[in-house]
Structure 1
């Protein structure tokens, strides 16, 4: 029997304008992972006002940090401060990809980030990446980053997981333009869409446990 895959998650940032969370939830959307921070000081201005609106619509809420080439612990502190203490039932994620506007986060900085999040929250965050982490690790496993559940970014028909992880938990299969469909969500429009490696009930359980 083929594994159940659920396509009811999206990830957003300030680039996605005027989302209608109620309409998206009515169409079956379950969760939103939203950009919260970048680097040591950047904050997505839409993160804080959108969270209560999404939760009021019954959606699960998560936050991600876009890593840059600087101190990983300081970035983690900034991320956790912005997200706030009410994060036990949220997914927390490090976005590890090439930085188009400056230095990119290194493996050492990424390890420092996730280790600090683990020390403060008691759980490993998710790690979002695609070809960038494959280039950094090659075919090697990573004893630190491998503790994080993996969110694959790959816009193609077949997910290819780096050796550091046994499987993908989420798979961002499209950015709303590139990759297989569907690309759009009612109330949101074309956006990053993400599949979950499990059924809808398992997604809810995993999410409410903070990704544990």
Structure 2
């Protein structure tokens, strides 16, 4: 089954995006940064959500984890996302502006999201989760579907997951082509492990 290359992830760093134009370039799903830490909110989240809804694109939201109380971070995230049918994700990577989220804080975050929504969020990570876990496994984080960040030609999944669900293969500069998207320019692009039908079924199941 071929993998489907039709998802992007964006934040305020991408500026003023045209999601209607992105749709004409084959994009069907948008993951947008919603929050960071216990109080941070991405200023483009609400605007881009409206634009995605107008363009009839699948919508997702991610939280950038920091080294602080995981439950409070989850409350910040859920408060911004609200009751929208968004695909939810925890972004677990090194924090360039302060302490990075620990495994314990990540477990608290994903467990609280599950308690409130009935779904474990996806876990986005690359070398950081491989560094934290090594060859070990984590039964709580294993309940999350895995979104791999890796800009090489072949995805390498940590032992904690059998496979990747999404793969961020480029940040718009490094990694395999294509790098850009109409209406946005160079950006993070993501492969889904399956065809378009499987993608839409997965999105529906995780947001119901």
TM-score bracket for this pair, using the shorter chain length? over 0.9
Partner of 1:140: 136
TM-score, normalised with respect to structure 2:
0.98
Instruction: Give SS of 1:152's match.
Output: strand
- What does residue 177 of structure 1 align with? 173
Unaligned runs of 5+ in 1: none
Unaligned ranges ≥5, structure 2: none
1:95 is aligned, of 91, 98, 120, to 91
2:202 to 203, 206, 210: 206
Q: Secondary structure at the match of 1:116?
A: helix
Contact map agreement 1:126 1:150 (CA 8 A) in 2: yes
Alignment of 1:147-166 (within 5 A): 147-166=143-162
2:44 equivalent to 1:38: no
Report if aligned partners of 1:125, 1:211 keep a CA contact under 8 Å in 2.
no
1:210 match: secondary structure: helix
Output the CA distance in 1 between the equivalents of 2:118 and 2:71. Answer: 15
TM-score (norm 1): 0.96
Q: Distance in 2 between matches of 1:86 and 1:9?
A: 19
Question: Post-superposition shift, 1:55?
Answer: 1.3
C-alpha displacement at 1:211, in angstroms? 5.9
Q: Deviations over 1:94-133 (max 9, x none)?
A: 0000000000000000000000000000011000000000
Once the 2 structures are TM-superposed, how far is the Cα of residue 141 of structure 1 from its aligned partner? 1.1
Q: How many residues are matched? A: 208
2:64 and 2:96 mapped to 1: Cα distance?
11
- CA deviations over 1:49-75 (Å, ceiling 9, x no partner): 110111111111000000000000000
Runs (4+) of structure 1 exceeding 4 A deviation are none
> 2:76 maps to which residue?
78
Q: Following the alignment from structure 1 to structure 2, what is the Cα–Cα distance between the partners of residues 211 and 77?
A: 18
RMSD: 1.0
CA shift digits 1:139-171 (9 cap, x unpaired): 111100000000000000000000000000000
Counterpart of 1:123 (choices 116, 119, 125) is 119
DSSP 3-state at the match of 1:97:
coil
Q: Judge conservation of contact 1:117–1:124 (CA < 8 Å) in 2.
A: yes
Q: Whole-Å Cα distance in 1 between the matches of residues 130 and 171 of structure 2?
A: 19
Q: d(CA) in 2 for partners of 1:182 and 1:25?
A: 15
Aligned equivalent of 2:103, options 96, 103, 107: 107
